[in-house]
Amino acid sequence: MKRWLIGEATLLCGLVICTLVVQAEDDTTKPMGGYTIEGVPNEHQIDKNVSYFFLEEQPGEKDQIKIKLLNDSTEEKTLNVKVTNANTNSNGLIDYTGTLKDHASLKTPLTSIVKPQVTEVKVAPKSETETKLDIQMPEEKQEGIILGGVVVSEKSDETKKEKNASFGNAYRYTLGVVLTNDKEIQVNKNKEIELEKVGAILSDGRKIVQADLLNPTSYIFGEAIVSGKILNKSETQTIRERKKEKVKIAPHSVYPFQFDWKKEELKPGNYVFEGQVKTKERKWVVKQAFMIRAEEAKQINEKSVFKLFIPVWLKLSVAIVGVVTLITTVFLWIRRKRYETE
């Protein structure tokens, strides 16, 4: 199997699932972090031309997948192995980091089916070893696909944290996993999209109005153009407008379509979201009224890192100019009165 390297974001996207490859500018011949991984071919592989696990597994079936861990460095590596479910991030990409919350409609996550035999593996310098993950398929037949990944990262230790606290786990490697009961499966199907909710949130320190677009099916919803706007209550004024192309939404996950308020403060009130999701097959039009409450707006504005900051020197300058202007005005008024009296 082909080696995959991705950075901290650990994103896989493509026709079914691709790999974002991040290579070093100074030396592309050496693996990031001093180690890399390879998937060992599985007999249940549907498409042998792809570099991820794309397996036909029947209901109730047991299987194993094997991953080769290769340590190219001169130090022993302790590697963590975990399974993650596929979700969708705010960039409209399928995300395998395991940091995003699973949606309630995901009844059969990959993490409930694929289990590492060990979650921590030591690999000697300039050597390689294999680690195994067990597959136990549900007894019931599954429609569509079950999507996720196997993420391998180096275990952080106190010495590395002291040397570089920002890069305890600087690099992660991910192998995608697609499981299905149907050998002739069509992985990408733009069957349905739903607007779940709209509201104001604080996201990474930013003031955001977010519309959650749900893919309620067991297929990848992809290559969509998502556009939308935030209107005032009477729908006579467009407050924010945005468009995002090539959006992919993982099965049973939400695409958080975000409107960034930036330095402008959120204002309480009633609003309307109007959106459109367009694919080659069809177009979905969604609309929902929502409210930003006063206390909600206040909390988000106060906690946001994007605030209108007025330097102390500017405040003092304005105050001094104001006082000087006032004194000058009074002086001229008194002088004029005296002149008129004389």
The sign of the torsion formed by the CA atoms of 25, 39, 127, 81 equals positive
Whether residue 209 contacts residue 256, with contact meaning beta carbons closer than 8 Å, is answered with no
2.60.40.740, 3.90.440.10, 2.60.40.10, 3.90.76.10: CATH of 32-180: 2.60.40.10
Q: What is the mean pLDDT of the chain?
A: 86
Q: Quick one: pLDDT at residue 50?
A: 93
Question: What one-character-per-residue DSSP string does 23-63 give?
Answer: --SS-TTSPGGGEEEEEEP-TTBS-TTSSSEEEE--TT-EE
Q: Quick one: pLDDT at residue 307?
A: 53
Q: Quick one: pLDDT at residue 32?
A: 75
Q: Quick one: pLDDT at residue 165?
A: 43
Rounded Cα–Cα distance for residues 31 and 189 (Å): 35
Q: Look up the CATH number of domain 195-303.
A: 2.60.40.10
Rounded Cα–Cα distance for residues 56 and 43 (Å): 9
Whether residue 208 contacts residue 260, with contact meaning beta carbons closer than 8 Å, is answered with yes
Q: Quick one: pLDDT at residue 13?
A: 40
Rounded Cα–Cα distance for residues 210 and 242 (Å): 12
Reply yes or no on whether the pLDDT at 168 is more than 70.
no
Sorting pLDDT into bands at 50, 70 and 90, what band is 312?
low
Q: Do domains 32-180 and 195-303 have the same CATH topology?
A: yes
The sign of the torsion formed by the CA atoms of 23, 26, 29, 32 equals negative
The tokens 């230790």 sit on which residue?
157
Most confident among 98-102, 152-156, 159-163, 322-326 (mean pLDDT): 98-102
Instruction: Find the distance separating the first CA and the last CA of the chain, reported in whole Å.
Output: 102
Model pLDDT for residues 45-71, shown as the tens digit of each residue: 999 999 999 999 999 999 999 999 999
Q: Quick one: pLDDT at residue 197?
A: 97
- In the chain, where the domains are located: 32-180, 195-303, 310-342
Whole-model pTM? 0.78
Reply yes or no on whether the pLDDT at 322 is more than 80.
no
Model pLDDT for residues 223-263, shown as the tens digit of each residue: 999 999 999 999 999 999 999 999 999 999 999 999 999 99
Model pLDDT for residues 257-286, shown as the tens digit of each residue: 999 999 999 999 999 999 999 999 999 999
Helix (H) or strand (E) holding 103: none
In this structure, the number of other CB atoms found within 10 A of the CB of residue 56 comes to 19
